[in-house]
Amino acid sequence: MPIAIAATLAFGQQPASAQGLFDMLFGGGVRHNPQGEFPPPPKPRKIRPDALAGEGGGSVRISSPTYNTYRADKLVRVDFKSLLPAPQPVAAAAQDAAYVPSVTGNGAFRDALAGLTDYELFAEPDIAKALIAYYSANPDFIWVSDNAPNSRAQDAVRVLGEAASYGLTPADYNVDVPAAAATVTPQERTKELVRFEMALSARVLRYAQDAQSGRVEPNRMTAYYDFPAKPFDLEGALKTLAHTQEVRTYLESRHPQNPEYQALRVELEALEASEENEIVVDPKLLLKPGESSPELPKLLTLISRNLDDEMGGNYGEVLARLGKSELYDPELVPVIKAVQQREGMKGDGVIGPRTVALLAGTSKADKIEKVKVALEELRWMPSDLGSPRVFINQPAFTASYIDDGEEKLKTRAVIGRVANQTAFFYNQIKQVDFHPYWGVPQSIIVNEMLPRLRGDPGYLDRAGYEVTDARGKRIPSSAVNWGAYGANIPFSVRQQPSEANALGELKILFPNKHAIYMHDTPQKSFFARDMRALSHGCVRLQDPRGMAAAVLGTSVDDIAEKLKHGHSTENVTRVIPVYVAYFTAWPDMSGKVEYFDDVYDRDSKLMQALDATEAVRTPSS
């Protein structure tokens, strides 16, 4: 869960045995530390109580990460000066006035470089640097042979022209190809070809880098994104391209090589060729029994078109009679409930955005945007996602264990609420803790416990929490002057294992700076909800025993036996990557792409970043 959190806890009904236990809703955690259950607290830093603004000094808070306005790196003009031949003396230039350079051989390339004297080519800073470094060490054409673009160039231009099939923008890689039958002078032809050489190299490198790593740097957008850099050897790419005829194979290999990426490409192609939805229902429709809306007949028409034998037998007559009604008649409520349940929803009979999305679908334009966003996000991740792996898709509220191309386990999940968002990153599963302690994050101590502790310093003692000082010594909560501290609390707080523990009976750890992990929860009722962004940032599982058994390579019965023996820890001995991912369009194991609500509104922020990148690239030549 994010270390920085700014939300106010919504207290629920608590069992008497918890003695006022601080919110069983908590799904938070701390950074995992192999040397102990929680990290050492920060050094004490007392602040004056009168410096705490607001009622009871409670306004001091630890804030959540924010979203930044994305700024792409500006392009730079490629400085060809170091490649240009030294100026000739005037007499020598006059003597060679009749000399016509050819475009064959190493020397011809050096002669052609004079055509770059006033050439304005703009590129990303690292690409501009790589161009000069490569051609300084390898002074020869890659893309030109026999006074014309060669087969390598033709293949490269074709691949760049197909960028849209990957959700990329073809204009970003556009290069003017010299005409085959040139009507210009030999000197002009040489200039034309050497400029084509440099432009194509620059755009091929941009394409390859975009395909491998994406067009935006996600970590610049927000601290909720956490992806390692994917280094790309730009000079090495040009060397490879100069010595291969398999240009298409090389460039296509830069894209992620997993079935999910391919399924999204297929979906994009199908969407582009499809017709717009014939019936479009207001995606924000909210309709309860007894209310009216002109959108209702549209929805009922879609339901009638997709009736199976059972639904038709049960509700066909009602739909035929009331199918054009704008009034949400009580007779229609069982129809809506049945459809909702068929789609895996709770079936409450209320027609809301999620029901509309499931029945009327997402518009063609929205689907295309979601698929393009998903393709970009997949480029941030490893090309090979690994097997076995755990895949958490936050907008779908699910967690899956996938091995050898099969989804061996899929369970409902609860993720962070909008104010306490779950980060998007990947890591490796390391261990399972049985009957775990819950180390309360500093953000929750400061934002949510501290205001109460100032008036009731002993409530942590009564509620089953342990308080330790900077030396690890356990002290009574009632002995601490909580009013003397603000955002830096020099104490650690943890909840002991119990039935009321916020983490339930087990947690599955993959150490990360966001202190996010998967765990059980006492709040089982949350899994019955359709919208499950309800935690403080960690991922709660409906079937934690099943997931623990999967990652440990054992049975659920074995997990149950381990739980009989109190607190313990077991290391995961296999390499199992875990993806705490965020995809509003994602293919199931059969390749069918499903669409989900953008619960954190991240797609629009990514589109803004892509637009900013396009704006920088637009004036490039």
Q: What pLDDT, in 10s, does the model give residues 6-29?
A: 333 232 333 333 333 333 333 333
Both tokens of residue 398? Answer: 């699910």
Q: What is the pLDDT of residues 246-298, one digit of tens each?
A: 999 999 999 999 999 999 999 999 999 987 777 888 888 999 999 999 999 99
* Same domain (yes/no): 119, 217: yes
Q: At 479, is the secondary structure helix, strand, or coil?
A: helix
* Same domain (yes/no): 118, 216: yes
Both tokens of residue 504? Answer: 């339930």
- The region of weakest confidence among 44-53, 136-145, 402-411, 566-575 is 44-53
pTM of the model: 0.80
**Residue 420 near residue 64, CB atoms below 8 Å:** yes
Strand partners for 540? 414, 519
- Structural domain including 241 reads 80-255
* Same domain (yes/no): 501, 465: no
Output phi, psi for 301, to 5 deg.
Answer: -60, -45
Q: Which residues does 20 contact at the CB level (< 8 Å), separation at least 6?
A: 14, 459, 462, 463
Output phi, psi for 9, to 5 deg.
Answer: -70, 135
Q: What is the pLDDT of residues 95-147, one digit of tens each?
A: 444 434 444 446 789 989 999 999 999 999 999 999 999 999 999 999 999 99
Does 4 fall in a domain?
no
The pLDDT value recorded for residue 439 is 86
Q: Which of residues 255, 271, 304 is at a domain's end? A: 255
Q: Which of residues 230, 255, 280 is at a domain's end? A: 255
Query: What share of the chain in percent tops pLDDT 70?
Result: 86
Q: Which of residues 454, 469, 492 is at a domain's end? A: 492
Q: What is the pLDDT of residues 202-240, one digit of tens each?
A: 999 999 999 999 999 999 999 999 999 999 999 999 999
Q: Which residues does 284 contact at the CB level (< 8 Å), separation at least 6?
A: 353
* Same domain (yes/no): 424, 447: no
* Same domain (yes/no): 514, 449: no
Does 578 fall in a domain?
yes
**Residue 529 near residue 46, CB atoms below 8 Å:** no
Distance CA 160, CA 174 (A): 7
Q: Which residues does 273 contact at the CB level (< 8 Å), separation at least 6?
A: none
**Residue 516 near residue 414, CB atoms below 8 Å:** no
**Residue 394 near residue 599, CB atoms below 8 Å:** yes
Does 619 fall in a domain?
no
Does 44 fall in a domain?
no
Strand partners for 474? 468
Phi-psi region of 306 (alpha: psi -120 to 50; beta: other; left: phi over 0): alpha
* Same domain (yes/no): 174, 247: yes
* Same domain (yes/no): 102, 182: yes
* Same domain (yes/no): 161, 249: yes
Does 229 fall in a domain?
yes
* Same domain (yes/no): 410, 474: no
Does 310 fall in a domain?
yes
- The region of weakest confidence among 57-66, 83-92, 125-134, 299-308 is 83-92
Instruction: Please state the domain count of the chain.
Output: 4
* Same domain (yes/no): 119, 243: yes
Does 114 fall in a domain?
yes
Both tokens of residue 192? Answer: 């034309």
Does 21 fall in a domain?
no
Q: Which residues does 533 contact at the CB level (< 8 Å), separation at least 6?
A: 394, 397, 414, 415, 416, 417, 418, 599, 600
CA distances from 308 to 255, 342, 592 (A): 41, 11, 21
Q: At 444, is the secondary structure helix, strand, or coil?
A: helix
